[in-house]
A and B are shown apart, each in its own frame.
Chain A
Amino acid sequence: MHIPDAFIPLPQGAVYWVIALVFIALSLRWARKEMREDRIPLVAVLAAGIFAIQAINVPIPWGTSGHMMGAALAAIVLGSPFAAVFVLTLVLIVQGVLFGDGGLTTMGANIINMGVIGGFIGFYSYRGLFRLFRTIYPAAFIAGWLSLFIAALACAVEMAVAGTFPLELGLLSMGLYHAVIGVIEGGITAVAIYLIHTARPDIMAETPGVPST
C-alpha cells in the first residue's frame, strides 16, 4: 500500500503533504499535551513495534504473502487517533528514507492513508463497535480490518486521481486484496490487544467509553 515516488505527480503530492502536515501538527500538539514523559518510551517502542509488525510476512490463503499496517493497534493502545498519525509518520519516515519503501514526494499521501485514515477509522470504529458489542476483541478485530480496507481504497482513489492506475480496477484489486489482508490485520490487532490486556493491562490507555481492563 506504500505508494512509491513517481506514481503521484508533484503538485498532487504537495497537496497530500500539506494535508498530512496539518495532521502531523495536530499529532505534535497531542504529543505535547497528552504524551507524558513516561509515555515517550512507549510511543518510541510502539513505532518500532509497528515497523517490525509491518515487516513480518504473513501468509495469505492463495499462496502469496502480505503485511500489516498497525494504525488501529497504535490508536487503540494509546487511546487517540493522533497517536496513530504520530507513530505511523515515524514509521513511514524510517521506511521511506532508510528502506525506500514508499516515497518522499508520496509520503504525505502515505501518511494520510495509513496514519490518518487508518488511525481515525481504527480508533472511532473501535469505540463505536465496543458500545455495540460491549466486548473489546470483536471491536478490535473489525476496527483493524476496517482501518486497512478503507486505507487501501483511499490509496486506489489517490492513484486514480494521479492517473497512474484505473479507478475501478484499483478499487477492485486493492479492495479485494486488502479485504483478505484485513482479516489478518484485525486478527493480529485483537490478539495483540488480548496479550497486552492479559500480560500488561497497565499499558493500555483508557479509551472514552471503553474500559482498559
Chain B
Amino acid sequence: MIDDLFLIEKYAYRKSLVHNLDARVKIAVTFAVIIAIVAVPYSTMVYPVGGIFFIFFTALWGVSGLSPIVYLKRLTMILPFGIFLVIFQVFFRNRYYEAFTTIATLPFGIEVYAESVEFASILLVKFLVSVSFIILLSSTTKTPDLLEGAGRLGLPAEFTLVLGMMIRYLYVFGYMIRKTQQSLETRCFDPFDRSLPYRYRLEKLAYAVGTLFIRSYEQGERTYVSMLCRGYGPKSHIYIAKKSMAVRDWAFLFTGLLVAVTVPVMTWSRLLPYA
C-alpha cells in the first residue's frame, strides 16, 4: 500500500477544476456523500441513489482530467477485503429479509439465495460509491492541503502536527521499503518463495521490518535536531493561515451537499422510482 502513496501524490499534483478546489469543500462533500449512501437502508432504494452518486462521481472524475485507468488501478488495490465480504453474502441468510428463495445448490449442501444475492449487490453499490469518492478526494488533493483543510475544519492541533510529521515520514519509509526490497531482490530473496524454509523467510522479513523501524526513528531524530535549530519547542504547532473560499468552492459545496441530501430524500419519498 505504501507504494501507492507515490502514485496518489503524482496524480494529486495535477491541475484541474477539481484539483484547484479548496480541500475543505472536497472533504465536506466526500463525507456527506459517504454518510448519505451509508444512511440509505439495506434495500433496493440503494440502486437509484448509488447510481446517481456514481454519475456525480464520474462527472467529477471526468472534470479532474484523470484517466479511468488510474481509478481502476486504485480501485483494484482497495477492493479485496470488501469484495470478499460481498461475495460470501450470497451463501448466508441475513436479518434484512424474512423469506429466502434458493436459486442454486452447491456441493456440501451450500445454497445460494436470491435475497442474499440482492443484499450482496446492495452492499457492493454502497461500498463502491464510498470507495470511489475516497479515491476522488485523495487523487485530486495534495496531502498537505488535506491536512490544512482538516485543520481548518477543526481537527485538533495535536493531530495536525503529528499527522503532518507522520505523512512526511511515510515517504521516508516508502523509499526505505523500496530500497530494502531491491536489496533483498538482488540477493535473490523472495519472501513468497516456497523453496525457502518458512521460518527463515519470516525471520528475514522481521529483521527487515525492525531495521526499517530503527532507521526511520533515527531519521526522525535527525529531523528533530534540525527542527530544534529552527526554533522548535513544546508550543510549536502547524501554522494554518486563514483562507477564504472562492465562489467556485461555495458552488461546489452547495452542489455536493444538494446531491448528497436531495437524492436519498427524493428516492425515499418515491419521487425517484425504484423496484
Residues of B within 8 A of A94 (CB): 163, 166-167, 170
Task: Tell whether, in the assembled complex, residue A187 and residue B202 are in contact, meaning their CB atoms are under 8 Å apart.
Answer: yes
Residues of A within 8 A of B77 (CB): 99
Task: Tell whether, in the assembled complex, residue B8 and residue A6 are in contact, meaning their CB atoms are under 8 Å apart.
Answer: no
Is A4 among interface residues, defined by CB-CB distance under 8 A? Answer: yes
Count B interface residues, CB 8 Å: 80
Task: Tell whether, in the assembled complex, residue A100 and residue B74 are in contact, meaning their CB atoms are under 8 Å apart.
Answer: yes
Interface bits B21-44 vs A (CB < 8 Å: 1, else 0): 000000000110011011100100
Residues of A within 8 A of B1 (CB): 54-55, 95, 99, 101
Most buried by A among B74, B163, B169: B169
Pick the interface stretch among A35-43, A120-128, A146-154: A35-43
Task: Tell whether, in the assembled complex, residue A195 and residue B210 are in contact, meaning their CB atoms are under 8 Å apart.
Answer: yes
Distance to closest chain A CB from B227 (angstroms)? 8
Partner of A56, one of B35, B85, B127, B209: B209
Is B257 among interface residues, defined by CB-CB distance under 8 A? Answer: no
Most buried by B among A37, A48, A57, A104: A48
A43 to B212, CA, bound (A): 15
Within 8 A of B (CB), among A163-198: 163-166, 169, 184, 187-188, 191-192, 194-196
Distance to closest chain A CB from B97 (angstroms)? 10
Task: Tell whether, in the assembled complex, residue A40 and residue B162 are in contact, meaning their CB atoms are under 8 Å apart.
Answer: yes
Pick the interface stretch among A58-66, A111-119, A205-213: A58-66
Task: Tell whether, in the assembled complex, residue B159 and residue A41 are in contact, meaning their CB atoms are under 8 Å apart.
Answer: no
A51-B166, A191-B209 given; A45·B220 CB < 8 A:
yes
Is B265 among interface residues, defined by CB-CB distance under 8 A? Answer: no
Residues of A within 8 A of B207 (CB): 191, 195
Task: Tell whether, in the assembled complex, residue B214 and residue A7 are in contact, meaning their CB atoms are under 8 Å apart.
Answer: no
Task: Tell whether, in the assembled complex, residue B209 and residue A6 are in contact, meaning their CB atoms are under 8 Å apart.
Answer: no
Task: Tell whether, in the assembled complex, residue B38 and residue A13 are in contact, meaning their CB atoms are under 8 Å apart.
Answer: yes
A10 to B216, CA, bound (A): 38
Interface of B is mostly: helix
A155 to B173, CA, bound (A): 28
Task: Tell whether, in the assembled complex, residue B130 and residue A103 are in contact, meaning their CB atoms are under 8 Å apart.
Answer: yes
- Chain A residue at minimal CB-CB distance from B162: A44
Within 8 A of A (CB), among B169-200: 169-170, 172-174, 176-177, 191-192, 198
A10-B38, A55-B2, A195-B211 given; A44·B159 CB < 8 A:
no
Distance to closest chain B CB from A88 (angstroms)? 12
Task: Tell whether, in the assembled complex, residue B34 and residue A188 are in contact, meaning their CB atoms are under 8 Å apart.
Answer: no
- Chain B residue at minimal CB-CB distance from A61: B198
Task: Tell whether, in the assembled complex, residue A4 and residue B213 are in contact, meaning their CB atoms are under 8 Å apart.
Answer: no
Pick the interface stretch among B59-67, B134-142, B243-251: B134-142
Task: Tell whether, in the assembled complex, residue A41 and residue B177 are in contact, meaning their CB atoms are under 8 Å apart.
Answer: no
Partner of A51, one of B30, B173, B201: B173
Is A200 among interface residues, defined by CB-CB distance under 8 A? Answer: yes
Task: Tell whether, in the assembled complex, residue B201 and residue A100 are in contact, meaning their CB atoms are under 8 Å apart.
Answer: no
A59-B191, A96-B134, A99-B4 given; A200·B217 CB < 8 A:
yes
Is A93 among interface residues, defined by CB-CB distance under 8 A? Answer: yes
Is B156 among interface residues, defined by CB-CB distance under 8 A? Answer: yes
Is B109 among interface residues, defined by CB-CB distance under 8 A? Answer: no
Is B131 among interface residues, defined by CB-CB distance under 8 A? Answer: yes
Residues of B within 8 A of A80 (CB): none
Task: Tell whether, in the assembled complex, residue A10 and residue B205 are in contact, meaning their CB atoms are under 8 Å apart.
Answer: no
Residues of A within 8 A of B218 (CB): 200
A28 to B203, CA, bound (A): 35
Distance to closest chain B CB from A73 (angstroms)? 9
Distance to closest chain B CB from A111 (angstroms)? 13
Distance to closest chain A CB from B246 (angstroms)? 23
Q: Can you list 13 pairs linking A and B with CB atoms under 8 Å apart? A: A4-B130, A5-B131, A9-B38, A45-B219, A57-B191, A59-B202, A96-B134, A97-B137, A99-B4, A100-B78, A100-B130, A100-B131, A104-B34
- Known contacts A4-B81, A4-B127; 15 additional CB pairs below 8 A are A5-B34, A5-B131, A6-B127, A6-B130, A7-B85, A32-B158, A41-B165, A49-B212, A52-B174, A56-B205, A86-B162, A99-B78, A101-B78, A103-B38, A166-B92
CB-CB nearest 6 A-B residue pairs: A6-B126, A44-B165, A48-B169, A195-B210, A5-B130, A45-B220
